[in-house]
Amino acid sequence: MGAPVRRGQIFLSACARTGCNMGKKSKKTRIAERYAEVSEMFKSLPKNQFKLIEPQIKDEAFLKISLEDMREAINTGGYTDSYKNGAEQNGEKVSALLQAYNQTEKRYADL
């Protein structure tokens, strides 16, 4: 079985280096800002109760920002990847990034 031929491979390589946020804040900064935004909603909780929900707040912030970045990459790179197996077998398949997006979105919805 041959390696898949990926449309937008140059973009995806650049995305890996820059985090798909050329001209934007870093992913780490955006996650921290989202964490602070959501934490603010629960500021009235006693400290011991806040500690119980803090892991979910961290997960929410990470997943939300990751989904935004993946959505941007999918919109730029497309929903499908071309593949070629051998000399005569080729076609299109759902992109791996779109599959990862769908799985991440399900996890986000489960929070």
Q: Which residue has the tokens 């299109």?
A: 92
Q: What is the pLDDT of residue 22?
A: 54
Q: What is the pLDDT of residue 30?
A: 98
Contact 83, 91 (CB under 8 A): yes
Q: Please tell me the distance from the alpha carbon of residue 90 to that of residue 106, in angstroms, as a whole number.
A: 30
Residue 28 phi/psi, 5° resolution? -60, -40
Q: Is the pLDDT of residue 19 over 90?
A: no
Q: Please tell me the distance from the alpha carbon of residue 71 to that of residue 49, in angstroms, as a whole number.
A: 33
The rounded percent of the chain whose pLDDT value lies above 70 is 79
What pTM value is reported for the model? Answer: 0.74
Provide the 10 A C-beta neighbour count for residue 85: 12
Q: What is the pLDDT of residue 86?
A: 82
20-77 pLDDT, tens digit each = 545 679 999 999 999 999 999 999 999 999 999 999 999 999 999 999 999 999 999 9
pLDDT band at 85; cut points 50, 70, 90: confident
Q: What is the pLDDT of residue 23?
A: 65
Q: What is the pLDDT of residue 97?
A: 95
Q: Is the pLDDT of residue 16 over 80?
A: no
